[in-house]
Structure formats: C-alpha cells, structure tokens
Amino acid sequence: MKDSKKELVTIDDYIKIQDKDKQVDLQKFREIIKKAAPKATECISYQMPAFKQNGILVYFAAAKNHFGFYPTAKPIEVFKKQLDEKGYTYSKGAIQFPLDKPLPVKLIQDMVKFRIKENEIKALAKQKKLTKK
C-alpha cells in the first residue's frame, strides 16, 4: 500500500493507494458487488471499501497475501459448505480470497444478495416497530 495516511473518501481513493498488481482485481471485486447490488451506494467505512443498502452490506480490502471480504457472520454460516469446498480461509466475519486465484464471482454475488435480503428484513422489522409506537 502506498500513502495510507491520506483520508480516504471514495473507493477510487482506496484502489489508487493499493499496489498496482492488486488494483485490477480490486476494481473487479467492486464490479462484482455492484452487479449483485445495483441499488447499493459505495462508501468508505473503517478505511475499507464498503457498500450500503439499508445499512452496510459488505466490505472488501486488499491485504498482503489475499483479498479480504467481510459479509458479516450469517452469510459465512449459510455458505460454509461452498467456502470449505473451495478451501478458503475464513473466520466468523471474514473470508480470505488468495491473490493468485480468480475471485469467486458467483459466491461473492450470492453472499451480497443474501446480505441485501438480510438488511431488508431488518429494515422492515424496524419500520414496523416504529409504526407501532
């Protein structure tokens, strides 16, 4: 990573400060998410690229040896079988995609779509609660 002291405002800002060899895949990552969540808005949160739709959907980032994908805990539980089959390293809220392998387009999009539904359900529940008061 280059000048990380600069205040990041956009995903473009984030991508520009990454190593050249990661920039193309970061842009692909962004496009994969955009295609799955066309109504989502881009932002920077916790100094990482993120997408919002009824709250944060997902984050992604470049690391030294992988790309990090942060879809929250529930999608990782739901898609655990696919993650295990592909041999990805993951934890409760993060998945590591190796730099030397293509990004798993369908898996990422399925997780993003899952998060959209999850956020919609939460937003509807919150709205119902507010209208009851």
- The percentage of the chain sitting over the pLDDT mark of 70, rounded to a whole number, equals 95
pTM for the model stands at 0.91
Predicted confidence (pLDDT) per residue in 24-60, tens digit: 999 999 999 999 999 999 999 999 999 999 999 999 9
Q: Which residues contact 116 (CB under 8 A, 6 or more apart)?
A: 36, 37, 40, 53, 54, 57
The predicted pLDDT at position 71 comes to 98
Q: Give the tokens for residue 103.
A: 């990004």
Q: Which residue has the tokens 């696919």?
A: 82
Other CB atoms closer than 10 Å to residue 102's CB: what's the count? 9
- Name the pLDDT band for 6 (thresholds 50, 70, 90): low
The predicted pLDDT at position 14 comes to 97
Predicted confidence (pLDDT) per residue in 72-122, tens digit: 999 999 999 999 999 999 999 999 999 999 999 999 999 999 999 999 999
Other CB atoms closer than 10 Å to residue 56's CB: what's the count? 18
Indicate if the pLDDT at residue 4 is higher than 80. Answer: no
| Fold category of 11-123 in CATH | Aspartate Aminotransferase, domain 1 (3.90.1150)
